[in-house]
Structure 1
Amino acid sequence: MKLRQMTEADLPEVMAIERAMFPLDAWSEGMMRGELADQPRTRHYVVAVADGRIVAYAGLACAADQADVQTIAVLREHQGTGVGGAMLTELLAEARRRGAREIFLEVRADNAQARGVYQHFGFEEIGIRRRYYDDGTDAIMMRRKLDG
Protein backbone atom coordinates (compact mmCIF):
# COMPACT_ATOMS: atom_id res chain seq x y z
CA MET A 1 0.00 0.00 0.00
CA LYS A 2 1.22 3.48 -0.87
CA LEU A 3 -0.03 6.88 0.30
CA ARG A 4 0.04 9.86 -2.04
CA GLN A 5 -1.63 13.24 -2.41
CA MET A 6 -5.17 13.16 -3.81
CA THR A 7 -5.77 14.87 -7.15
CA GLU A 8 -8.91 15.67 -9.14
CA ALA A 9 -8.10 12.68 -11.37
CA ASP A 10 -8.79 10.47 -8.34
CA LEU A 11 -12.35 11.74 -7.88
CA PRO A 12 -14.19 8.95 -9.77
CA GLU A 13 -12.65 6.26 -7.51
CA VAL A 14 -12.87 8.43 -4.38
CA MET A 15 -16.53 9.26 -4.97
CA ALA A 16 -17.36 5.57 -5.48
CA ILE A 17 -15.80 4.85 -2.07
CA GLU A 18 -17.57 7.86 -0.53
CA ARG A 19 -20.99 6.65 -1.70
CA ALA A 20 -20.28 3.06 -0.64
CA MET A 21 -19.01 3.94 2.83
CA PHE A 22 -21.36 6.84 3.64
CA PRO A 23 -24.60 6.03 1.79
CA LEU A 24 -26.77 8.21 4.03
CA ASP A 25 -24.60 11.32 4.14
CA ALA A 26 -22.05 11.12 1.33
CA TRP A 27 -20.32 14.30 0.25
CA SER A 28 -21.13 15.47 -3.25
CA GLU A 29 -18.44 15.59 -5.91
CA GLY A 30 -18.73 19.38 -5.80
CA MET A 31 -17.95 19.39 -2.08
CA MET A 32 -14.91 17.19 -2.66
CA ARG A 33 -13.72 19.40 -5.54
CA GLY A 34 -14.05 22.39 -3.22
CA GLU A 35 -11.85 20.68 -0.64
CA LEU A 36 -9.22 19.88 -3.26
CA ALA A 37 -9.30 23.47 -4.54
CA ASP A 38 -8.01 24.58 -1.11
CA GLN A 39 -5.07 22.16 -1.30
CA PRO A 40 -2.37 22.87 -0.24
CA ARG A 41 -3.36 26.25 1.26
CA THR A 42 -5.63 24.96 4.06
CA ARG A 43 -6.25 21.34 3.05
CA HIS A 44 -4.27 18.11 2.79
CA TYR A 45 -5.90 15.08 1.13
CA VAL A 46 -4.30 11.69 0.59
CA VAL A 47 -5.30 8.42 -1.03
CA ALA A 48 -4.09 4.90 -0.25
CA VAL A 49 -3.36 2.81 -3.31
CA ALA A 50 -3.12 -0.98 -3.18
CA ASP A 51 -2.86 -3.29 -6.18
CA GLY A 52 -3.24 -0.33 -8.52
CA ARG A 53 -6.50 1.02 -7.13
CA ILE A 54 -7.55 3.50 -4.48
CA VAL A 55 -8.76 1.69 -1.36
CA ALA A 56 -9.00 4.63 1.07
CA TYR A 57 -8.72 8.39 1.35
CA ALA A 58 -8.46 10.99 4.08
CA GLY A 59 -8.50 14.74 4.42
CA LEU A 60 -7.30 17.42 6.82
CA ALA A 61 -8.19 21.09 7.23
CA CYS A 62 -5.67 23.28 9.01
CA ALA A 63 -5.75 26.96 9.87
CA ALA A 64 -3.55 28.76 12.37
CA ASP A 65 -2.88 26.37 15.27
CA GLN A 66 -5.96 24.17 14.83
CA ALA A 67 -6.55 21.21 12.53
CA ASP A 68 -9.62 19.11 11.76
CA VAL A 69 -9.86 15.63 10.31
CA GLN A 70 -12.36 16.22 7.53
CA THR A 71 -12.85 12.61 6.48
CA ILE A 72 -11.35 9.14 6.49
CA ALA A 73 -12.84 6.33 4.43
CA VAL A 74 -11.48 2.81 3.98
CA LEU A 75 -13.14 0.18 1.82
CA ARG A 76 -14.60 -2.57 4.01
CA GLU A 77 -12.30 -5.26 2.66
CA HIS A 78 -9.28 -3.15 3.70
CA GLN A 79 -10.52 -2.23 7.18
CA GLY A 80 -8.47 -3.69 9.99
CA THR A 81 -5.33 -3.88 7.82
CA GLY A 82 -3.66 -0.72 9.09
CA VAL A 83 -4.64 1.47 6.13
CA GLY A 84 -6.79 3.79 8.24
CA GLY A 85 -4.09 4.06 10.90
CA ALA A 86 -1.48 4.92 8.27
CA MET A 87 -3.72 7.64 6.88
CA LEU A 88 -4.47 9.07 10.32
CA THR A 89 -0.73 9.04 11.09
CA GLU A 90 -0.14 11.05 7.90
CA LEU A 91 -2.85 13.59 8.84
CA LEU A 92 -1.37 14.00 12.33
CA ALA A 93 2.11 14.51 10.85
CA GLU A 94 0.81 17.10 8.39
CA ALA A 95 -1.04 18.96 11.15
CA ARG A 96 2.23 19.13 13.10
CA ARG A 97 4.16 20.30 10.00
CA ARG A 98 1.63 23.11 9.64
CA GLY A 99 2.03 24.15 13.27
CA ALA A 100 -1.26 22.90 14.69
CA ARG A 101 -1.34 22.50 18.45
CA GLU A 102 -4.51 20.40 18.52
CA ILE A 103 -6.63 18.41 16.10
CA PHE A 104 -10.37 17.78 16.18
CA LEU A 105 -12.83 15.44 14.49
CA GLU A 106 -16.42 14.28 14.57
CA VAL A 107 -17.31 10.60 14.39
CA ARG A 108 -20.68 8.91 14.25
CA ALA A 109 -21.83 7.86 17.71
CA ASP A 110 -22.77 4.45 16.28
CA ASN A 111 -19.31 3.81 14.76
CA ALA A 112 -17.59 2.01 17.64
CA GLN A 113 -14.76 0.73 15.43
CA ALA A 114 -13.72 4.22 14.30
CA ARG A 115 -14.08 5.63 17.81
CA GLY A 116 -11.78 2.89 19.08
CA VAL A 117 -9.16 3.71 16.44
CA TYR A 118 -9.27 7.40 17.33
CA GLN A 119 -8.95 6.64 21.04
CA HIS A 120 -5.98 4.37 20.28
CA PHE A 121 -4.37 7.39 18.57
CA GLY A 122 -4.87 9.55 21.65
CA PHE A 123 -8.13 11.34 20.81
CA GLU A 124 -10.45 12.12 23.71
CA GLU A 125 -14.21 12.61 23.55
CA ILE A 126 -15.04 16.24 24.34
CA GLY A 127 -18.72 16.58 23.43
CA ILE A 128 -21.72 15.55 21.38
CA ARG A 129 -23.36 17.21 18.38
CA ARG A 130 -26.95 16.05 18.55
CA ARG A 131 -28.51 14.81 15.30
CA TYR A 132 -25.40 15.93 13.36
CA TYR A 133 -25.73 13.41 10.54
CA ASP A 134 -28.47 13.43 7.92
CA ASP A 135 -30.13 10.33 9.40
CA GLY A 136 -30.33 11.93 12.87
CA THR A 137 -27.34 10.12 14.38
CA ASP A 138 -25.29 12.07 16.91
CA ALA A 139 -21.64 12.95 16.32
CA ILE A 140 -19.05 12.49 19.02
CA MET A 141 -16.55 15.36 19.01
CA MET A 142 -12.99 14.33 19.75
CA ARG A 143 -9.72 16.20 20.27
CA ARG A 144 -6.06 15.39 20.49
CA LYS A 145 -3.38 17.79 21.60
CA LEU A 146 -0.30 17.75 19.39
CA ASP A 147 3.19 17.87 20.78
CA GLY A 148 5.78 19.77 18.77
Structure 2
Amino acid sequence: MNTKVPTSFNAAEDQFGQRLAARLSDGNQELSHDIGERLRVARAQAVAARKQAPQLRTAPEVAQSGHALTLGGGWWTRIGSVVPLIALVAGLITISVMQDDDRVSELAEVDSALLTGDLPPAAYTDPGFAQFLKADGASD
Protein backbone atom coordinates (compact mmCIF):
# COMPACT_ATOMS: atom_id res chain seq x y z
CA MET A 1 0.00 0.00 0.00
CA ASN A 2 1.29 3.43 -0.84
CA THR A 3 1.74 5.54 2.30
CA LYS A 4 2.96 8.75 0.69
CA VAL A 5 0.46 11.62 0.89
CA PRO A 6 0.27 13.97 -2.12
CA THR A 7 2.10 17.28 -1.59
CA SER A 8 -0.89 19.35 -2.69
CA PHE A 9 -2.89 17.82 0.16
CA ASN A 10 -0.16 18.75 2.66
CA ALA A 11 0.08 22.29 1.26
CA ALA A 12 -3.67 22.81 1.56
CA GLU A 13 -3.62 21.44 5.09
CA ASP A 14 -0.73 23.74 6.04
CA GLN A 15 -2.47 26.79 4.59
CA PHE A 16 -5.63 25.97 6.53
CA GLY A 17 -3.63 25.54 9.74
CA GLN A 18 -1.87 28.87 9.23
CA ARG A 19 -5.17 30.69 8.60
CA LEU A 20 -6.70 29.07 11.68
CA ALA A 21 -3.71 30.02 13.84
CA ALA A 22 -3.85 33.61 12.58
CA ARG A 23 -7.55 33.81 13.33
CA LEU A 24 -7.01 32.47 16.85
CA SER A 25 -4.14 34.88 17.42
CA ASP A 26 -6.32 37.83 16.33
CA GLY A 27 -8.82 36.90 19.02
CA ASN A 28 -6.06 36.91 21.68
CA GLN A 29 -5.81 40.71 21.62
CA GLU A 30 -9.08 41.01 23.55
CA LEU A 31 -8.14 38.43 26.22
CA SER A 32 -6.13 38.96 29.36
CA HIS A 33 -2.40 38.13 29.31
CA ASP A 34 -2.83 35.06 31.54
CA ILE A 35 -5.53 33.48 29.35
CA GLY A 36 -3.61 34.33 26.17
CA GLU A 37 -0.50 32.59 27.49
CA ARG A 38 -2.48 29.47 28.46
CA LEU A 39 -3.98 29.34 24.97
CA ARG A 40 -0.53 29.77 23.38
CA VAL A 41 0.85 26.89 25.47
CA ALA A 42 -2.16 24.72 24.61
CA ARG A 43 -1.62 25.42 20.88
CA ALA A 44 2.06 24.53 21.19
CA GLN A 45 1.18 21.26 22.94
CA ALA A 46 -1.40 20.43 20.27
CA VAL A 47 1.13 21.03 17.49
CA ALA A 48 3.72 18.89 19.29
CA ALA A 49 1.19 16.07 19.78
CA ARG A 50 0.17 16.29 16.13
CA LYS A 51 3.76 15.96 14.98
CA GLN A 52 4.22 12.84 17.14
CA ALA A 53 1.00 11.11 16.05
CA PRO A 54 1.26 8.77 13.07
CA GLN A 55 -0.23 10.30 9.97
CA LEU A 56 -3.30 8.22 9.16
CA ARG A 57 -4.74 9.52 5.95
CA THR A 58 -6.59 6.58 4.47
CA ALA A 59 -8.79 8.46 2.01
CA PRO A 60 -5.96 9.92 -0.11
CA GLU A 61 -4.04 6.64 0.10
CA VAL A 62 -6.93 4.63 -1.23
CA ALA A 63 -7.65 7.16 -3.93
CA GLN A 64 -3.99 7.31 -4.91
CA SER A 65 -3.49 3.55 -4.97
CA GLY A 66 -6.18 3.13 -7.61
CA HIS A 67 -8.08 0.42 -5.75
CA ALA A 68 -10.98 2.65 -4.77
CA LEU A 69 -14.51 1.75 -5.74
CA THR A 70 -16.46 4.68 -7.07
CA LEU A 71 -20.04 4.40 -5.93
CA GLY A 72 -22.52 6.19 -8.12
CA GLY A 73 -19.91 6.84 -10.78
CA GLY A 74 -21.04 4.48 -13.54
CA TRP A 75 -24.22 3.51 -15.29
CA TRP A 76 -23.99 -0.08 -14.08
CA THR A 77 -23.90 1.05 -10.48
CA ARG A 78 -26.96 3.22 -10.94
CA ILE A 79 -28.85 0.49 -12.76
CA GLY A 80 -27.82 -2.01 -10.10
CA SER A 81 -29.28 0.19 -7.37
CA VAL A 82 -32.61 0.64 -9.20
CA VAL A 83 -33.16 -3.01 -10.17
CA PRO A 84 -34.09 -4.19 -6.62
CA LEU A 85 -36.62 -1.36 -6.34
CA ILE A 86 -38.21 -2.33 -9.66
CA ALA A 87 -38.31 -5.99 -8.59
CA LEU A 88 -39.99 -5.04 -5.32
CA VAL A 89 -42.66 -2.95 -7.05
CA ALA A 90 -43.28 -5.70 -9.64
CA GLY A 91 -43.63 -8.28 -6.86
CA LEU A 92 -46.13 -6.14 -4.95
CA ILE A 93 -48.19 -5.55 -8.09
CA THR A 94 -48.16 -9.30 -8.85
CA ILE A 95 -49.32 -10.15 -5.33
CA SER A 96 -52.11 -7.57 -5.54
CA VAL A 97 -53.34 -8.90 -8.90
CA MET A 98 -53.26 -12.51 -7.67
CA GLN A 99 -55.21 -11.64 -4.52
CA ASP A 100 -57.81 -9.75 -6.56
CA ASP A 101 -58.19 -12.73 -8.92
CA ASP A 102 -58.61 -15.13 -5.98
CA ARG A 103 -61.19 -12.85 -4.37
CA VAL A 104 -63.16 -12.59 -7.63
CA SER A 105 -63.05 -16.38 -8.08
CA GLU A 106 -64.38 -16.97 -4.56
CA LEU A 107 -67.20 -14.48 -5.05
CA ALA A 108 -68.07 -16.06 -8.41
CA GLU A 109 -68.30 -19.51 -6.77
CA VAL A 110 -70.62 -18.18 -4.06
CA ASP A 111 -72.79 -16.37 -6.60
CA SER A 112 -73.07 -19.42 -8.83
CA ALA A 113 -73.96 -21.61 -5.84
CA LEU A 114 -76.67 -19.13 -4.81
CA LEU A 115 -78.14 -18.83 -8.29
CA THR A 116 -78.07 -22.54 -9.15
CA GLY A 117 -79.21 -23.76 -5.74
CA ASP A 118 -82.71 -25.00 -4.77
CA LEU A 119 -83.53 -21.98 -2.59
CA PRO A 120 -84.39 -18.53 -3.90
CA PRO A 121 -81.83 -15.78 -3.06
CA ALA A 122 -84.37 -14.05 -0.78
CA ALA A 123 -84.25 -17.05 1.58
CA TYR A 124 -80.64 -16.23 2.48
CA THR A 125 -81.66 -12.80 3.82
CA ASP A 126 -84.31 -14.28 6.14
CA PRO A 127 -83.10 -14.27 9.79
CA GLY A 128 -84.89 -17.56 10.48
CA PHE A 129 -83.03 -19.25 7.65
CA ALA A 130 -79.70 -18.13 9.16
CA GLN A 131 -80.74 -19.80 12.45
CA PHE A 132 -81.75 -22.90 10.51
CA LEU A 133 -78.32 -23.07 8.86
CA LYS A 134 -76.59 -22.67 12.22
CA ALA A 135 -78.69 -25.42 13.79
CA ASP A 136 -78.22 -27.66 10.77
CA GLY A 137 -74.46 -27.08 10.84
CA ALA A 138 -74.35 -27.97 14.54
CA SER A 139 -76.19 -31.26 14.03
CA ASP A 140 -73.71 -32.50 11.35
Query: Could you say whether these structures have the same fold, taking a TM-score greater than 0.5 normalized by the shorter chain as the test?
Result: no
State which structure, 1 or 2, has the greater radius of gyration over its C-alpha atoms: 2
| Coarse TM-score class (shorter-chain normalised) | under 0.3
Larger fraction in strand: 1
What TM-score, normalized to structure 1? 0.19
